Amino acid sequence: MSDYEWFKKAVYDLTKIDLNAYKEKQMKRRIDTLIGKYEAKGYDEFAGMLKKDREVLNTFVNYLTINVSEFFRNPDQWRLMDQQMVPELMGKFGKNLKIWSAACSTGDEPYTIVMLLSKHVPLNQINILATDLDTVAIAKAKLGVYNEKEISGVPSEFKSKYFTKTPDGMFAVSNDIKSRVTFKQADLLRDPYPKNYHLIVCRNVLIYFTEEAKDITFRKYYEALAPGGILFIGATEQIINYKDIGFERKNSFYYERPSK
């Protein structure tokens, strides 16, 4: 077994994160950078540090998971969601949509969904499930405090309505928005998927998965959707074998599980 193979096993034993499901070159490059930062001599010594020091382990998981996110990331996608997807889904399923933001990172994405939906229904009718692997990202999401760059894409009417400036120049999202989202820690590779969702939003995470892990995940999303439900993926992503899975392609980034 190579050093890296052994390291992947050690990481799995410690964290239950399966590095085999992520693109190896990219992942190895990130891990090697972190090993350099901690001045460890190699995978073996670094695994020892991860075992001994909870702080190093948390930093490792947080670094590995790449939490980059921002509100209204890729505005064209959100415009289409506002003008096409949401009216279409409400026409089919009514106003109380079941929505899952999978790999929600620091909360920017599920809070974006709540703001956008607030144009269509009263806030108290909105309930979003938001999950991520990384507990540090979820803690930040629950706190709901962001810097200027992270909220730079928020339309001005929402900025004034739903954010307050903190004394240290950050922006806190209002409780009215926060209370509409339920955050949970969950691993897309291991944990069971919920059922009967009308909209699943999963953007900018499967790009890190191997083709095999990606295919398994798309199939699980298909099963997690109600017939007529929609899977919304990242602007640079696509599902090549969508027909094979059973999806209907509505647009390069949104796919429907056809109604029976």
Ligand X SMILES: C[S@@+](CC[C@H](N)C(=O)[O-])C[C@H]1O[C@@H](n2cnc3c(N)ncnc32)[C@H](O)[C@@H]1O
Interaction site with ligand X (CB under 6 A)? 65-69, 73, 103, 105, 108-109, 132-134, 137, 187-189, 203-205
Rounded to the nearest whole angstrom, what is the least distance from the CB of residue 39 to ligand X in the complex?
A: 26
CA–centroid distance for 168 within its chain? 28
State the chain's maximal CA–CA distance in angstroms. Answer: 59
d(CA 215, CA 254): 16
Nearer to ligand X, 40 or 66 (CB): 66
Nearer to ligand X, 18 or 88 (CB): 18
Rounded to the nearest whole angstrom, what is the least distance from the CB of residue 234 to ligand X in the complex?
A: 6
Nearer to ligand X, 50 or 188 (CB): 188
Q: Which amino acid is at 141?
A: A
Provide φ and ψ at 128, rounded to 5°: -120, 135
Strands 99-102 and 197-202: parallel
Rounded to the nearest whole angstrom, what is the least distance from the CB of residue 80 to ligand X in the complex?
A: 15
Nearer to ligand X, 33 or 96 (CB): 33
Rounded to the nearest whole angstrom, what is the least distance from the CB of residue 118 to ligand X in the complex?
A: 19
Nearer to ligand X, 88 or 187 (CB): 187
d(CA 227, CA 40): 51
CA atoms within 13 A on the CB side of 36: 6
Token readout for 141 is 């999401």
Rounded to the nearest whole angstrom, what is the least distance from the CB of residue 185 to ligand X in the complex?
A: 9
Nearer to ligand X, 97 or 133 (CB): 133
Q: Which residues contact 105 (CB under 8 A, 6 or more apart)?
A: 67, 68, 69, 132, 134, 137, 141
Q: Which stretch of DSSP H or E encloses residue 254?
A: strand 254-256
Q: Would you mind telling me the total number of residues written for the chain in this entry?
A: 260
